[in-house]
Amino acid sequence: MNNVRQPFYVAIFLLFSVGISLSYYRHSTFDVPWLPGEKQHIWSIEAKIQFDGQNEPVKVSLAVPDTQQSFTKVAEHTASAGYGLSYLEDDAGRRVQWTIRDAQGPQILYYRVDMLVDPDQDQVGTFTLPIKRRVNLGAGPYETSARGLLEQAISRSADPYSLTAELIREFSTQSQSAEFLSQKRPRIEWLVLLLQYANVPARKILGLHLEDGRRRQKLLNYLQVFDGQHYKIFDTETGKQIRPKSFLLWEYNSLPLIDLMGGANTTVNFSMIKQEVPLGESRKTSIERDSSLLNFSIHSLPLEELSLFKGILLIPVGVLVVVFLRIFIGLRTSGTFMPVLIAMSFIQTSLITGVVGFILIVGTGLIIRSYLSKLNLLLVARIAAVIIFVIILIACFSVVAYQMGLSEGLKITFFPMVILSWTIERMSILWEEEGPQEVVVQAGGSLIVALVTYMLLTNDVVRHLTFNFLGLQLVLMAVVLMLGSYTGYRLLEFRRFRPFCKD
Amino acid sequence: MLLKCYRQLAASGVMGMNRRNLSYIGRYNPRSLFPLVDDKLKTKRLAVEHGVTVPTLIGVIEHQHSVRHISKIIDGHRAFCIKPAKGSGGKGILVISKVDDGVFYRTNGQAVCSSEVQRHVSNILAGLFSLGGAPDVAMIEDCIEIESGLATFSHEGVPDIRVIVFHGIPVMAMMRLSCSDSHGKANLHQGAIGVGLCLATGRAVNAVKDDVEILLHPDTGQNLRELALPKWRKLLELACACSDMTGLGYLGVDLVIDKNLGPMLLELNARPGLSIQMANNAGLLPRLRKIESISHPERWGAEQRLEFAQTHFAAIAAA
> What is the Cα gyration radius of chain B?
20
The percentage of residues in chain A with a pLDDT greater than 70, rounded to a whole number, is: 90
Asked if pLDDT for residue A289 goes beyond 60, the answer is no
A230-280 residue pLDDT tens: 888 998 888 888 887 888 888 888 788 888 888 888 999 998 888 777 655
Find out whether A44 and A272 touch, Cβ atoms under 8 Å: yes
Look up the pTM and report it: 0.69
Query: Is A79 in a helix, a strand, or coil?
Result: strand
Find out whether B275 and B165 touch, Cβ atoms under 8 Å: no
As a residue count, chain A comes to 503
pLDDT at A291: 45
Position A374, amino acid: K
Q: How confident is the model at residue A194 (pLDDT cuts 50, 70, 90)?
A: confident
pLDDT at B49: 92
Cα separation of A259 and A208, whole Å? 19
In the predicted model, what is the mean pLDDT of residues A86-101? 84
pLDDT at A297: 59
Q: How confident is the model at residue A4 (pLDDT cuts 50, 70, 90)?
A: low
Find out whether A473 and A316 touch, Cβ atoms under 8 Å: yes
Cα separation of B159 and A2, whole Å? 43
State the DSSP string of A379-426. HHHHHHHHHHHHHHHHHHHHHHHHHTT-GGGGGGGGS-HHHHHHHHHH
Q: Considering only CB atoms, which chain A residues are within 8 Å of B122?
A: 376, 378
Q: What is the mean pLDDT of chain B?
A: 87
Q: Say yes or no for a CB contact (<8 Å) between A489 and B8.
A: no
Closest CA relative to residue A423, chosen from A383, A388, A391: A383
Which helix (H) or strand (E) covers residue A202, if one does?
strand A202-209
Q: How confident is the model at residue A1 (pLDDT cuts 50, 70, 90)?
A: very low
Q: Say yes or no for a CB contact (<8 Å) between A380 and B19.
A: no
Q: Considering only CB atoms, which chain B residues are within 8 Å of A496?
A: 211, 278
Instruction: For residue A243, give the DSSP letter.
Output: P
Q: How confident is the model at residue B137 (pLDDT cuts 50, 70, 90)?
A: very high
Q: Say yes or no for a CB contact (<8 Å) between B23 and A489.
A: no
Higher-scoring residue by pLDDT: A1, B210 = B210
Asked if pLDDT for residue B38 goes beyond 70, the answer is yes
pLDDT at B318: 37
Higher-scoring residue by pLDDT: A240, B319 = A240
B45-104 residue pLDDT tens: 999 999 899 999 999 999 988 888 888 888 888 888 999 998 876 778 888 888 888 788
Minimum Cα–Cα distance from A425: chain B residue? B128
B242-289 residue pLDDT tens: 999 998 999 999 999 998 889 999 999 998 989 899 999 899 999 999
Q: What is the mean pLDDT of chain A?
A: 82
Instruction: Give the CA dihedral B19, B22, B25, B29, nearest 10 degrees.
Output: -150
Across A22-31, A236-245, B167-176, B216-225, which has the greatest mean pLDDT? B167-176
Find out whether A286 and A42 touch, Cβ atoms under 8 Å: yes
Q: How confident is the model at residue A24 (pLDDT cuts 50, 70, 90)?
A: confident
pLDDT at A503: 55
pLDDT at B316: 61
Query: Is B285 in a helix, a strand, or coil?
Result: helix
A399-436 residue pLDDT tens: 887 777 666 666 666 677 777 777 887 787 777 767 78
Q: Considering only CB atoms, which chain B residues are within 8 Å of A486?
A: 18, 22
pLDDT at A279: 58
In the predicted model, what is the mean pLDDT of residues B194-222? 89
Q: Bridge partners of A97?
A: A61, A86
Query: Is B187 in a helix, a strand, or coil?
Result: coil
Residue B281: phi, psi to the nearest 5? 50, 40
Q: Bridge partners of A224?
A: A203, A233
Q: Where are the beta strands (DSSP E) in A71-201?
A: 71-79, 84-90, 93-117
The percentage of residues in chain B with a pLDDT greater than 90, rounded to a whole number, is: 38
B80-94 residue pLDDT tens: 899 999 887 677 888
Find out whether A249 and A64 touch, Cβ atoms under 8 Å: no
A48-75 residue pLDDT tens: 999 998 888 999 999 888 888 888 888 8
Asked if pLDDT for residue A84 goes beyond 60, the answer is yes
Asked if pLDDT for residue A317 goes beyond 50, the answer is yes
Given strand B169-177, what is the order of strands in its sheet?
B212-213, B204-209, B193-197, B169-177, B160-166, B250-258, B262-269
Q: How confident is the model at residue A142 (pLDDT cuts 50, 70, 90)?
A: confident
Burial track B186-224 (b if 16+ CB lie within 10 A, e otherwise): bbbebbbbbbbbbbeebbbbbbbbbbeeeeebebeebeb
First to last CA, chain A: 34
Q: Which of B22, B133, B211 sits opposite A496 (nearest CB)?
A: B211
Across A241-245, B67-71, B127-131, B205-209, which has the greatest mean pLDDT? B205-209
Give the C-alpha distances (Å, rounded to integers) separating A315 from A108, A251, A340: 30, 37, 7
Find out whether B74 and B82 touch, Cβ atoms under 8 Å: no
Provide CB contacts within 8 A for A499, sequence distance 6+: B211, B212, B213, B278, B281
Find out whether A272 and A211 touch, Cβ atoms under 8 Å: yes
Q: Considering only CB atoms, which chain A residues are within 8 Å of B9?
A: 489, 493-494, 497, 500-501
Residue A91: phi, psi to the nearest 5? -65, -30
Cα separation of A31 and A17, whole Å? 20
The least confident of A361-370, B17-26, B134-143, B199-208 is A361-370
* CA A367 to chain CA centroid, nearest Å: 35
Asked if pLDDT for residue A294 goes beyond 60, the answer is no
Asked if pLDDT for residue A283 goes beyond 60, the answer is no
Across A123-127, A226-230, B173-177, which has the greatest mean pLDDT? B173-177
Which helix (H) or strand (E) covers residue B140, if one does?
strand B138-142
Q: Where are the beta strands (DSSP E) in B198-296?
A: 204-209, 212-213, 250-258, 262-269
Minimum Cα–Cα distance from A327: chain B residue? B18
Q: Say yes or no for a CB contact (<8 Å) between B12 and A485.
A: no
Strand A84-90 and strand B57-61: the pairing is: unpaired
Mutate to test the interface with B, among A487, A495, A503 (most CBs of B within 10 A): A487
In the predicted model, what is the mean pLDDT of residues A365-391? 80
Asked if pLDDT for residue A124 goes beyond 80, the answer is no
Q: Which of B16, B212, B213 sits opposite A493 (nearest CB)?
A: B16
